[in-house]
Amino acid sequence: MNNIHEDSVDFQSNSQEEKQQPSVQSVLSRGSQEEIKRLNLSPAEVYLKACKQTGAVPVSYILRHLDDAILDLNYYGLGPLGAKALAILLKVTLFSKLDLSYNRICDAGGEDLGVMLAENIGIEVLNLSWNHLLIRGNAALIAGLKVNATLKQLQLSNSGFGRPVVQLLAEVLQKNDTLALLDLSINCVDDEAVRLLCQGLATNETLEVLKLSRNPITKIGAVTLLRTVKNNMKSALEEIDISVSAKAGKTGDGNINKIAVVLVILYSYCFFSSYCRSLSSIFNMLPTVKQDLSLYFFQALDKEGTMKVSTSAFRKAVKVRLTVCHAAVIM
């Protein structure tokens, strides 16, 4: 009888342990990367179970490219549910480049991807442009970026990015040492948001490309941006794009494109290196109007059309125009 009693106790104990173990569904929805891996499921199984749990329709393209380094899902109509299922999958896969632009993932999807970004150790390029994100979604993504150690390029064009989230981003940029490209084009980044962003740019040493085109930035924001980067002697910034300000069409400030050109000229003058450097990125930031004096300025330097110019020739030409350009910005 004692043996039977002992066996029954052990059985009850085992049953209690099984009940205490989290279900697959709970692990997928709330589990960490390590907890999901301990389920011993293949990436395909993880994705299909995640879709079933979230109610998302599985995307066959994802299943066919689970072993690829690049996952291009722009215009796939994932929506918030599809983004949630994908976020679960991304905890156990090692895609290096992920394009999720134009998928209407909204704030809910942004929050799920933000949690994923905090744990993912493989993604280096992430495009989330045009996804109907607002404050909650953007804030979650920036929170994920704060602890992510691999992301090098982040594109958030037309993502409702404004002052509240820019403040969070500035705090991240102060310590981030991996991000090299940040695209915030077509957002709500105004002069005050630029001032907040500059709090991060003042100490950042890795960001190389900053895209702020089609934002309501005036000459005040342009000068603030230039001075901040100029004063950061360890800044790695090589390209700043503030062309075609969205505010120009509303206020009639037709000088914003000229200000953008002046910013490029002054910035290039301050940071021009000691070797011949391609001017292609600078040409891309200039207005396309042939009569623009700035275009003539570069054409005069590059008479042979090689898209290159010597350091001495560039500095000599800019010195003559530096005072005039600076006055144009201050006006």
Joined together, the tokens standing for residue 298 give 């570069």
Q: Domain ranges in the chain?
A: 21-274
Specify the pLDDT at position 120. Answer: 87
At the top level of CATH, the class of 21-274 is: alpha beta
Helices 293-301 and 311-330: angle between axes, nearest 10 degrees: 170
CA 232 to centroid of chain Cα atoms: 21
Closest CA to 214 of 181, 191, 247, 192: 247
Strand locations in 161-288, DSSP E?
181-183, 209-211, 239-241, 277-278
pLDDT of amino acid 37: 77
Q: How does pLDDT run across 227-254, given as a tens digit for each residue?
A: 898 899 999 998 888 887 544 434 334 4
pLDDT for the residue numbered 26: 74
Contact assessment for residue 99 and residue 129, using Cβ atoms and an 8 Å cutoff? no
The confidence score (pLDDT) of residue 47 equals 94
CB atoms within 10 A of CB 212: 26
Name residue, tokens 């010195």: 319
The answer to whether residues 256 and 219 touch, using CB atoms and an 8 Å cutoff, is yes
Model pTM score: 0.73
pLDDT in tens, 46-64: 999 999 999 999 999 999 9
Q: Which residues of the chain have pLDDT under 70?
A: 1-22, 29-31, 245-331
* Closest to 85 in 3D by CA, of 61, 123, 116, 40: 116
171-209 residue pLDDT tens: 999 999 999 999 999 999 999 999 999 999 999 999 999
